[in-house]
Every structure is written in C-alpha cells, then in structure tokens.
Structure 1
Amino acid sequence: MNKLLKRVLITIVVVLLVLVGGFYAMFNKEITTMNSIKQIDDYGFYEVHVASNYGLDGLVEQGGAKNDGELVQYVIKTILKGIPLEFNIPDFGCSTFQAQTASGDWIFGRNYDLNPIPGMLVFTEPENGYRSVSIANISVLGYTLENGPDSFTSKVMSLAAPYVIMDGMNEMGVSIGVLLIKDTPTDQNSDKLDLTTTSALRLVLDKAASVDEAIELFENMDMHASANASYHFQVADANGNSAVIEYIDNEISVIRKEAGDVQALTNFLISEAKYNFGKGQDRYEILINTLEENNGILETDQAMDLLQAVSQDKVDDDGDITATQWSAVYNNTKKTLDIVVANKFDKVYSYELFK
C-alpha cells in the first residue's frame, strides 16, 4: 500500500510539473513582460518592456478592426487569452510641436492633458517592425492612480498596453501624437484596412520609417475614431519633416510643414476647409509664437519649458480636473526621450534608446 501511495504521489507531482512547465512554455513571454513592469514615479507612472507578441500583423491580416469593440475582442483573443477587457478612452486635450536644436537635432514635444490618470512607458521590439517607445494611458485598461499594475495578477491587463498608446517614437526617428477634436467621429468605409485611433498609432510606430511612409499608411486605411470623438495627429521624423493628419467629413486632409515654416498642434482643426474648429487656440498661439521667435530652434530644456508654458492644471465649473499628465520631448535624431510626469518640471526622467 505504501509503495502504491508513493507511486500515485510521484505521478501527481510529475503531472503537476508537466502542467506547470507547459504553462510556462505557453506563457513565458507574457510572464517576462509582466515581470518587467516597474513604477518609475510615485504619481502612478510605470514602464514595461514587451517581450510578448501583441499581434499587430495578425490584426492587419484580418483586415483590422472597425471599432473599439472589435479591437477589444481581438486583444482578448490574441493577447489576453480570453480574459475580458473593456476600453474606456476619455476626452483629452493636448499639445504637440516640432523644433530643431542648434546642433541640428530634430525634436518633437508633447503634452498629454487629462484628469489624473496612470501612465506607462511601453517599450516594444516586434519581430516584423521597428522598435519603439510609446506612452500609454493605462486608465483605458481599468487602472487608477490608487490601483495600478502593482501585483502579478493586476499586471495581466498591461499586456494590452501597446494598443492604448497616445504618442511615441520608433528607432527610425518617427514620432507621432494624437490630439482630440470634439467633432463627429471619423468613420470611413471603403475597402481599405480598418483601424481605430490607437491601433493606427501602433501601425505607424511599427511600420513607418519617415513622415512620407506614415502618411501613406494613413492614406491606405479606413479610420474609425475611438470613443465617440474625432482626432487629428502630428507626425515628425529625423529628417525634419512634419505633417498633420486630419479628417474633414470622413475625408483625410494632410497638412505638410513647408520649408522654413514651423508646425504645432492643439485641439482645433488647421485644415482650410474647417479651420479653427475646436479649442486650444491660446496654447497654439504660444507654441507658434515661441517657435517663430526662435526661428524653430530650441534646445531640449527650452522645449520642455515651452511644454510647461502650455501645460494645464485647472478645475472647471463642474469641478472636473484638467491637468498635464505627461510632458515628453522626443529627440528623433539621437533617439532620446525626456519626460516629466504630472507637471513636476523639476524632475525629468531621461532615456537613451535603441542602442
């Protein structure tokens, strides 16, 4: 009887080891990704290094996603292995601009303005695409400042972070940021690739080596704006090119920066067909005036000063807070990133990337 009991126990142990080994073999990259998450600022700001496959090529191969719901279902099936998820993209107000340093580096500045939310630096290295760093609003995944990805089980949803990014830069020196326009949501319907706002950002960072290639990607997709809102984008590269992509009555409009000009963006349209629709004209005036007064030349610390000048920290008549959640200066030439969290401009986090 003792020998039989030992054999049964040994069998159970072997089966458990096989199951554990199989689980690890199946999810080892996901576990590696989750184990890489660390908090870098007490406010509620994290970083993650994505080792797992987030399935962008598969999304493209299936024709994309026509709305947030379809994207969520793809993420649940492909990344989260059936764990339920909801996207909740809030209204946000932002600022972007391009400048050049005295030594010739091209830089891209970005403020992300919203009520207090946790954020995350997302480092990706896709097998079939460019490496990039992007910044995600992980409140979209259900995290809060009080309840972030701080335990192993709570980190699972962070696997979807590559699809809730708001700005970023890839190893080719292409930067992009998305900004809200309170207008009828863009909903293009032809035979092109269907993408939502954040999945379009993901595609550009993974696949575009220049502003021209980014524009080509936008021109060959049907845009389906997220969260019942509309958006426009500024994209810039290491060669000094910059362009704004907007949608007017479901038609794409591309505004390229002309030689000798400067380019910036806030939350109103700059296309001639609907110029000045939206808000943020006061911030835009500060950006453009500062860039023009300096002939488009700003050092990194001056670019951060400009972001501080147009940052927000206010309470509206309804008691809602609008504050700058992060300020980022991407150096598209040197591939560096300086970032400030939650208007704490005396504390800058600096990264050297893609070595």
Structure 2
Amino acid sequence: MRRILPAALVALLLALTSCATPGPDGAPNSSPAGLSTASRQDPVQAERTMASLRRVDDLPLYEMTYVGSYDATVGTDATPSSPFGCSLFVAAGDPGRTVFARNFDWEANPALVLRTDPPDGHASISLVDISYLGVGADPTGDRRLLDAPLLPFDGMNERGLAVGLAADDAATVRPDPGRPTVGSVRILRLVLDRAATVDEAVAVFTRYNLNMDGGPALHYLLADATGASAVIEFVDGELRVERGTGGWQALTNVPVVGVPEQRRRADRRYGLIATALTDSGGVLDAAAAHRVLAGVRQGHTRWSVTYGLRTGEVRLVTASGGERRYQLPMS
C-alpha cells in the first residue's frame, strides 16, 4: 500500500526541494541550507529516505535506506586532507565463499551504513564517512544525507562485486582530455552501480579521469563473486591493473603493481595479511577474516568489515566495539 503524506508535509517538502536552482547540466546546485545536489527523488521518496535514518552504535554509526534515484556523476565529493590508513584483502582460495575484508583507518567521524537500489543500477550496501557531507555526529533531519550515495568508502553490490580504497602516496594521475572527470571516492559509486565483475569494474575506471586534488592519492582493490580480484593503481600517470593470483590479494598503503612480493611484505600490515592468507591457502570465512583484520588494526581504525561475495552477508565491527550484521539479497 502506498503511503499517503499529509498535504501540509508534501507542501513543506516541495518548498524545501525547490530551494535548489538548476546548474548548467540541469542538476540542482547546493543551496545555502546544504540541500542535495545529486538526488533525483520526488518529495515522498526524500521523506522516506530521511525517515529511515536510525542510530545503531556509539561510533556513532547510523543506517539509512535511500529510496529513489540519484545522479552519481554530479554533486558532493570527498576531499580528505591527510592520508588514509586502511588494510584490505580478498580471500578467494575457495571461490564458493570469497570474502572481501577491510579496515578503514581514519579520523573519529560518524559513519553510515547505506542501502541503495537505483532504478538504473545494481542494489548495494556501502559504508560512508558522513563528515564529508558536512554532517555532524547527529545528522537527524540533515538533508545533506541525500547525497550519501555519492561517497562510498567501501561496499558490495547485489552481483557480488566489492571495492575499497586506500592511500597510495606514489600515485599520480595524468588526465585524458577526452574523458569526463570524477572524484577519487565517487568512482566507487559508479563501480557499485554499473559493474558486476572485476572486468566490468576495471572498464568503469578506464572511462573516467580521477580527480585526486585536495586529498591523498589512492589505489583500489576490487573483487567479484567468481573469486577474481584486481588492484588498480596509477603509476607515472597511467592506470595500471594487477590481477590477483594464488587465491588471495591484499592492499595497504604501499604500491603493489610491479613491486616484488618480498618488498611488499616489508610493510608490516601487508606482511601480516600476506602471511595469514598464504598459510590458509586464501581460504577464510568471515570470522577468520575478522581475526586477520584485528591483527592489523591501528589506533585510528574506525571500522572493520567483511563482505561475503557469494552469500551477501556483511559483518561490521566498529571502533566502539559494536558488531552489526546485514544481508544483501544477491541477484
């Protein structure tokens, strides 16, 4: 049954959403009140999205389900000013239960578990550091949350494709004038919405220039439900891809493309992950993957998460000690 809103509430929502004026591409620009620039929701969908927000953890961690559509190519983007930490790996020794795992090591900001199901893309679940939306520790009623789909720091979609990022100080990007430019965090949303496999995700990356101005340079780990994985880095201005072999692949904050494994393992966190995955033959369940993540936690680890690329299971542990589980229906 469709929910009917009181006429006064609909009128108020229409007034709020009309505060944005169209930009040159027809997309609304942010108003002084910080209203969404990417939302393509009608007022009822926006109200349902905001009404779904709830606090579930003292990180603080929130959950929200985005209702309706958005334009993933416009609006807010993250410009972090100091390096990310982060440790990521994919355990694919048993392709029937591939696990993607990551620690997000960063500042003490509030986070959001976001569900999206765009009409023209794949449903996904992702984690967002909402401070990059300008949102504080209590985001209740803050309509800037309607831009939350634009800033996934890691996530998985219904096809079993997962992606995460980490700082890579060695990365350099040389723009191609024939390609559109998107932010270095925004690209994760485009991948989650449009790609079902690692090959398709790599193709999404190759269609865009990445803007890394104003923040740390990044590299990325991708994995899919077949057990395929890849690292994407930018070496001497060029996008480079290294495919996973041997049942696992890992990423911290040191370059891996073209770098001998022995040199990679000189990084403490990479070395600990690599040893654990080598010893296990790349076969880990979610609980074992979380034990590996715990072994490389840092003082500023904000969340540890595993994504079951076949099962759709998401297990999340936050810095506050809270644990949450989610189930993404897989297609």
Fold agreement, TM-score > 0.5:
yes
Percent identity over the alignment?
31
Distance 2:146 2:186 in 1: 15
Q: What CA distance in whole angstroms lies between the structure 2 residues aligned with 1:40 and 1:242? A: 32
1:185/1:224 contact within 8 Å kept: no
Show structure 1 runs of 5+ residues with no match.
Answer: 1-14, 60-73, 77-85, 314-322
Amino acid at match of 2:67: A
**1:327 and 2:314 correspond:** no
Distance 1:19 1:118 in 2: 31
CA contact (8 A) 1:101 1:107 kept: no
Quote the Cα distance in structure 2 between the aligned partners of 1:277 and 1:189: 31
Normalized per residue, the structure richer in helix is 1
**CA distance 1:106–1:279, shift in 2 (3 Å):** closer
- Which letter does structure 1 place at the counterpart of 2:291? D
Whether 1:188 aligns to 2:163 is no
Question: Which amino acid is the alignment partner of residue 27 of structure 1?
Answer: P
Q: CA shift at 1:341, angstroms?
A: 0.6
Q: 1:304-331: per-residue Cα shift (whole Å, max 9, x none)? A: 0000001101xxxxxxxxx110100000
Q: Which residue of 2 is the match for residue 44 of structure 1? A: 60
Q: Contact between 2:103 and 2:303, CA under 8 Å: does it hold in 1?
A: yes
Alignment of 1:89-238 (within 5 A): 89-90=80-81, 91-100=83-92, 104-144=96-136, 147-149=137-139, 151-152=140-141, 155-183=142-170, 185-238=172-225
Listed as ranges, the matches of 1:241-252 within 5 Å are 241-252=228-239
Q: TM-score, normalised by structure 2?
A: 0.82
Larger radius of gyration: 1
- Following the alignment from structure 1 to structure 2, what is the Cα–Cα distance between the partners of residues 46 and 216? 32
Aligned position for 2:291: 305
Q: Which residue of 2 aligns with 1:349?
A: 324
Q: Which amino acid aligns with 1:303?
A: A
Offset, 1:291: 0.1
Contact 2:170 2:235 in 1 (8 A): no
Cα distance, 1:22–1:325 mapped onto 2, change above 3 Å: closer
1:187–1:214 Cα change, 3 Å: same
**Contact between 2:94 and 2:282, CA under 8 Å: does it hold in 1?**
no
- Asked whether the equivalents of residues 95 and 225 of structure 2 are also in contact (C-alpha less than 8 Å), the reply is no
Q: Tell whether the 8 Å contact from 1:89 to 1:226 is kept in structure 2 after alignment.
A: no
Counterpart secondary structure, 2:153 = strand
How many Å apart are 1:186 and its aligned residue?
A: 2.5
TM-score, structure 1 normalization: 0.77
* Structure 1 residues 31 and 278: CA distance shift in structure 2, 3 A: farther
Partners of 2:84 and 2:105 within 8 A in 1: yes
Give the superposition deviation at 1:271: 1.6
The 8 Å contact of residues 46 and 121 in structure 1, kept in 2 or not, is answered as: yes
How many equivalent pairs are there?
299
Q: Which runs of 5+ in 2 are unaligned?
A: 1-6, 18-40
Distance 1:184 1:38 in 2: 37
Name the CA distance, whole Å, in 2 between partners of 1:122 and 1:48.
Answer: 5
Aligned to 2:316: 339
Moved more, 263-272 or 135-144: 135-144
Give the direction of change, closer, same or farther, for the CA distance of 1:16–1:239 in structure 2 (3 Å limit). Answer: closer
Partner Cα distance (1:98, 1:211) in 2? 13
Q: Distance in 1 between matches of 2:236 and 2:270?
A: 23
Distance 1:223 1:26, change over 3 A: closer
Contact 1:184 1:229 in 2 (8 A): no
Q: How well do the aligned residues superpose, as a CA RMSD in angstroms?
A: 2.7
Preserved contact between residue 182 and residue 278 of structure 1 (Cα < 8 Å): no
Tell me the equivalent position of 1:62. Answer: none
